[in-house]
Amino acid sequence: MLLAIDTHSTAYLQGRVFGLAVVLAVGVILVWVFTRKWRNPVARMPEDLPRVTALRKKRQALLALAMVLVCALYATKFVLDLRNEDPYGAAAETGPTNRTVDAPDAVAGYHLITDEAAARFAAEKSSATSERFWLYSTTPGGTQPSVMFTASTAAWDPRGAAERSEHSLEWLLVNFFAGAKVEDAQDVDPGPLGGLMRCGHIKSGNLVICRWQDASTGGTVATSDTTDIRQASTLALQFRNAAEH
């Protein structure tokens, strides 16, 4: 059965936010990696050390400010776009609320990034949707994200809960992946918590996005560490089992 894509739905908008957030996160990482030498000039002589140290701090501050401005402009544009859209419809019912989500500190060797940059990134993305965002690194205390994890619950997202009470989980996933620009999403095992889960490749890079939906929650895991759907689905299931209660 073909399902119509509702570009005003919460599921579609969450998918679009998530897809753009992945692109933005990858761009920030690439800029940070390729400007490493520029950000960290080396003093050739001892007497050059004070000048070079000051220059290093200045360049790092300028780059950080530029990244913050780009993220802020993105968030502002998206919020304005949402305000210009017609509402999806009345959301009188919130649906079941028996499950919750808590971001785990560590899952499958990935560790929650808690620095200021990650917190700012999560806040800016969450301002455009009721989905909450977290970044994970492969090393404890690391700052380079390898996994992006998001989730929403009926309590955080009444409009999304209303959609779950009015539409099938299939409809929610179709709209989400349409918004995220993923065309090859396929069903994978949702695990003991039930519902539906799908994974697919995002167009803009070698990244896999997995999304689950059940009667109370929705969640997403994107990873750059593998392009294999099955491996990514296993990782997503580990995140879901650790986060959803």
- Identity of the residue numbered 177: F
The domain tally of the chain equals 1
Whether 196 is covered by a domain: the verdict is yes
| Range 113-129 average pLDDT | 77
Whether 44 is covered by a domain: the verdict is no
183 pLDDT band, cuts 50/70/90, is confident
DSSP H stretches of helix in the chain: 10-34, 36-39, 49-83, 116-126, 158-166, 169-179, 229-243
Whether 63 is covered by a domain: the verdict is no
Sign of the dihedral defined by the CA atoms of residues 14, 120, 58, 142, in that order = negative
Q: Is 132 a residue whose pLDDT tops 60? A: yes
Boundaries of domain holding 227: 10-31+84-243
pTM, to two decimals? 0.63
d(CA 30, CA 227): 19
Element (H, E) at 188: strand 186-188
Give me the chain's average pLDDT, please: 77
180 pLDDT band, cuts 50/70/90, is confident
C-alpha pair distances (Å), 150 with each of 68, 78, 83, 208? 21, 18, 23, 14
Q: Number of C-alpha atoms within 13 angstroms, CB side, residue 156?
A: 20
Which pair of structure tokens corresponds to residue 211? 């999304």
Whether 36 is covered by a domain: the verdict is no
Order of strands, sheet of 132-137, starting from the edge strand that comes earlier in the sequence: 106-107, 110-112, 132-137, 147-153, 217-223, 208-213, 196-201, 186-188
Q: Which residue has the higher pLDDT, 200 or 245?
A: 200
Whether 238 is covered by a domain: the verdict is yes
d(CA 67, CA 32): 10
- pLDDT value, residue 108: 94
26 pLDDT band, cuts 50/70/90, is low
Whether 119 is covered by a domain: the verdict is yes
Whether 141 is covered by a domain: the verdict is yes
Whether 61 is covered by a domain: the verdict is no
Phi first, then psi, for residue 21 (nearest 5°) are -65, -40
Q: Chain-centre distance of CA 24, in angstroms?
A: 10
